[in-house]
A and B are shown apart, each in its own frame.
Chain A
Amino acid sequence: MIVSTTERPGRGIDPGVYREQLWTALRDGDEYAAAAAVFEGLENGLGAERILLEVIAPAQGRVGEEWAANRMTVADEHVATAINERVIAALAHHPAGRVRPDRGRVTVACVEGEWHSLPARLLSEVLRLRGWRVDFLGAHVPTPHLIAHLHRTGPEAVLLSASIPTHLPTAHAAITAALAAGVPVLAGGAAFGPDGRYARSLGATEWAADARAVARLLHDGLPRPDPTAMHLPIEDLPHLADQEYTMIARTRAELVRGTLAGLEIRFPPMREYTARQRRHTAEDVAHIVDYLTTALYVDDVRLFTTFISWTGDILTAREVPAHTLGLTFDALGAQLKDFPRARALLDQGRATVTDSPHIPIPGNGKPA
């Protein structure tokens, strides 16, 4: 979930100072300095919620940006996240962060396959500070576990977090199941699109852009889903009846293999690739297939083209030689002759590539 970085008016203290301090500490992997920044802010009266949303959240956001720009390694990113996790845990134990729950019970969970749990964790803490009794189930929660939890605890709402769009089909299953269990679903996180468009198309009760919006929606009360509706997932997405999603998702491995073979013909230097380069190429092609499949699922070309231009930026940041992704689309498209929706997506993807000449061929960099 993207958490707000806007400052609340009428409050004298500037969180910027502590944000900078925390960011420096995260970059250096200095856990102590990170904790010191946060607790200094707290002692100077910044308030636990503002620490979470205006110091920790933006610092974590910057970690992601720095990684994308190749200024931080995967290891640095993990270290920074782990430090933030520990700082949040310490904050929860601080006297200023202790709150007696006087509101209802809610469940916070990441969709199965989603490992970016920090936004959901921050949200849980914010809600806890506001008096909610929060069950935070963490990253990567299998849908059966989530539903069992909902039946057992009967919460007022489940807040479902997903950052990576390829988890949308799984998120849809979780949303449908939670609604069928009579629990309203509030979806959040980058996966649901910048305006929450996929939250709506997948049938979520509400979408929220940040933790404070979640708190507001919960405060106003979410309507219980109509228990008599007996809703089927296909009703949200009637286009799935054309089976393109199903058939492409089920033949993912064959498609990747076929595309690699096609690429080798279209791009001779690939024949000289090392085993490691080949592996990375296969992973990159699999990513493209995954995004293509997800775009078919939600029937939105923007999901695919956004990913393509993002991949381009990532590869460019890693100074991968500039070739065209178009070859990959050709190789992929050759295998998808009978799928008009998929081919239309690939055409749009190709147009995106043509628009930005820096986008290289996948294989030498690693976009995830």
Chain B
Amino acid sequence: MDTTKTSPAGSLGLRTSWASAPYPVVLADRAGTVVELNTAASAVFSALSAGDRLRDRVPSWLADAHRRVSTERSGQRSDREPAHGPSGGRVGDRSYEAHATCGSDGDVVWWLVDDTDRRLAEEALHGERQRTSFLAEASNALLSSLNVNRCMEVTAQLAATHLADAAVIIAPGKGRRHPMTSCVGSGEVVRSIVDIDTTSMPGLSEALQGFPPVPSRWIDPASAPEWVVPEEMDGAVGSVVITPLPGHGTPGGALVLLRTSGHTAFSEDAEVFARLFAARAGAALAAARMYSEQSSVTTTLMRELLPPSLHQVNGVEFAGGYRASGQSDRVGGDFYDVHPGAGEDQESLAVLGDVCGKGLEAAVLTGKIRNTLHALLPLADDHARMLRLLNTALLNSHHTRFATLVLASAARCEDFTRLRVTSAGHPAPLIVRRDGSVEEAATAGSLVGVLRTIKSTTTTIDLAVGESCLLFTDGITEARGGPLGDEMFGESRLREALGECAGMPAEAVVERVQMLAADWVGRGVHDDMAVVAITTPRPDVFSAMTRGAAGRRPA
């Protein structure tokens, strides 16, 4: 509106043309008394007529604005428009901007412009922006964790801070027992398991079964059972929204939003918005549930494939270490096992091997080989025969992979350990003597799973106290890295490292070798790596203690 430029200087009066202008115009004098008003203005201020005091007949924002403008005018006596911008406010259910034009005699013409629609649009935009930013924030927060409990906590927190006075999530349960997560305002999240009848709360069992939500206005807030209202909630429940959390194929649970009676009830908009939020929370919870189910399946299956933890058996120390090739893999194509001998003087059988290939598929075959060898244990006094039977079993299986392995039977004699060692196409074990010299076990043989007939030679080795025999896979010796980046770790480095391991306990030998190989590789890629050390411990080792009791040195 550019009306001010056309306003005459000096005495103001509503000319006929203005009197019929489509915008409300009011002329008032310095004292705030109405001089004239046009037809449009009379339509807005129905009770107003010339001679009335503004203060008595128009909303106070306009009366105040008039007083302000008049006071300023009397101070500076200028023809220009006042320095401050237009005033604005409501008249009934509409809102107006009021522009003032001042005359030199102190009269002021008020031009009113209806801005109701703009204001409503701005409010809607502001609300929409807030919701969008909340939903974006909610998505970020919900995406962060794949832990079901954590996800429910975040959902409860977000809902209680942004959507209601309190939020309660009821997860699908077993029978009557349901995990419940609740949060009041920005307070602590409380988790509990409740024993409930879901039909005791109107709308809840429908939501838990995934039926469309029951409108909030149908739910009597007084009917909300005691268990759903968090203790920390201040005041009686005034309104309730129950929204299903979509589970995407899994049962999702329900989100209950509560407002106290002091707070405005949920509008239809708020209900729709709660559903938008619930859709996101439900998706995040479904992902977390799926992940936890998958990971528990994986953990169970993996348990059989993971290398066992080794310890001392019948006076012989065994230790093993494993590192799979993939950063996130836990199992691979290398494997080891120790089968304890039945009695004190019986041999225990250690096995270490390498199946062609990497990852889960190779690991599945290692499981098969480990099981087969377990079944063949009674034949362990003849390694060659054991390997022949394993070879036949592998040839007859549908797997096309082959394997190399080492068998080592160990029994403690007086002050040494007697080992029988057989390699089937595998790098020969290394033996570190008390004086730090390192030798290779004189054994060789064919790999298993390829040829109809296989050959192998078994060698006998005696380990004195403090001496160790190291079984390892080529993942160690062929590890590439080092200071120059692309060198192989190699057998000579392994021998040098092992030379320093004379007199060490088995687990220290394993740790040392693993550490050197890992440092060698650095952040580079590597194959699966497995090591097993068999060591003759000092006679005074408190083997009884490692099994739990505070042992006493034999007298």
Contact = CB atoms under 8 A, between A and B. Distances in A.
Nearest to B503: A75
B512 A152 contact: no
B147 A94 contact: no
B549 to A, nearest CB: 8
Given A74-B512, A253-B485, A253-B486, A227 B147 contact: no
A73 interface: yes
Contacts of A69: none
Interface string B512-555: 10110011000000000000000000101110011011110100
Contacts of B507: 82, 85
Contact of B550 (A39, A85, A154): A39
A75 B546 contact: no
Interface string A242-257: 0000000000111011
B147 A228 contact: no
B505 A145 contact: no
A151 B483 contact: no
15 contacts: A35-B542, A35-B550, A35-B551, A39-B550, A75-B500, A75-B508, A82-B505, A83-B505, A145-B328, A152-B299, A154-B145, A181-B146, A228-B141, A229-B140, A256-B484
Given A35-B542, A283-B483, A152 B147 contact: yes
Contacts of B140: 227-230
Given A75-B502, A79-B503, A35 B508 contact: no
Contacts of A252: 485
A326 to B, nearest CB: 20
Given A75-B501, A90-B546, A181-B146, A32 B540 contact: yes
Interface string A68-101: 0000011100110111011001100110000000
**Which 3 pairs of residues, A with B, have the shortest CB-CB distance?**
A253-B485, A286-B483, A154-B147
Contacts of A139: 511
Interface string A142-156: 111100101111100
A79 B145 contact: no
B515 A151 contact: no
B327 interface: yes
Contacts of A81: 508
Nearest to A290: B522
Interface of A: 29-32, 35-36, 39, 73-75, 78-79, 81-83, 85-86, 89-90, 93-94, 113, 115, 139-140, 142-145, 148, 150-154, 180-182, 227-230, 252-254, 256-257, 282-283, 285-286
Interface string B222-251: 000000000000000000000000000000
Contact of A227 (B148, B149, B154, B328): B154
B273 interface: no
A74 B502 CA distance: 11
A282 B145 contact: no
A182 B291 CA distance: 16
Interface string B145-171: 111111000100000000000000000
A25 to B, nearest CB: 11
Given A32-B540, A75-B502, A93-B548, A228 B511 contact: no
Contact of A90 (B147, B482, B542): B542
A31 B553 CA distance: 11
Contacts of A82: 504-505, 507-508, 511
Contact of B483 (A35, A227, A253): A253
B200 interface: no
Contacts of B327: 142-144
Nearest to A38: B550
A285 B550 contact: no
B295 interface: yes
B158 to A, nearest CB: 9
Interface string B443-487: 000000000000000000000000000000000000000111110
Contacts of A229: 140
Contact of A256 (B142, B483, B514): B483
A182 B145 contact: yes
A73 B500 contact: yes
B464 to A, nearest CB: 15
Interface residues of B, number: 52
B150 A182 contact: yes
A228 B328 CA distance: 26
Residue from A89, A90, A181, A227 having most chain B Cβ neighbours under 10 A:
A227
A60 B137 CA distance: 48
A202 to B, nearest CB: 18
Contacts of A152: 147, 292, 295, 299
Given A79-B505, A230-B140, A31 B542 contact: yes
B500 A31 contact: no
A73 B497 CA distance: 13
A285 B485 CA distance: 13
Contact of A31 (B146, B295, B512, B541): B541
A154 B154 contact: no
Contacts of A78: 501, 504, 508-509, 511-512
Contact of A257 (B288, B328, B484, B512): B484
B388 interface: no
A121 B508 CA distance: 16
B330 interface: yes
A155 B21 CA distance: 72
B144 interface: yes
Contacts of A253: 483-486
A74 B484 contact: no
Contacts of B330: 145
Contacts of A148: 295, 328
A205 to B, nearest CB: 15
Contacts of B512: 74, 78
Contacts of B501: 75, 78
Contacts of A228: 137-138, 140-141
Interface centre among A89, A139, A151 (most CB of B within 10 A): A151
Q: Which of B144, B501, B509 has the most CB of A within 10 A?
A: B144
A227 B145 CA distance: 9
A31 B545 CA distance: 10
A105 to B, nearest CB: 11
A282 B508 contact: no
A247 B124 CA distance: 51
Nearest to A252: B485
Nearest to B139: A228
A256 B485 CA distance: 9
Contacts of A153: 147
Given A94-B550, A229-B140, 13 more contacts: A32-B542, A75-B508, A78-B504, A79-B505, A86-B546, A151-B291, A152-B292, A153-B147, A154-B149, A182-B147, A182-B154, A253-B483, A283-B482
A111 B452 CA distance: 47
Given A93-B548, A115-B511, A151 B540 contact: no
Contacts of A36: 553
A341 to B, nearest CB: 21
Contacts of A140: 518
A164 to B, nearest CB: 10
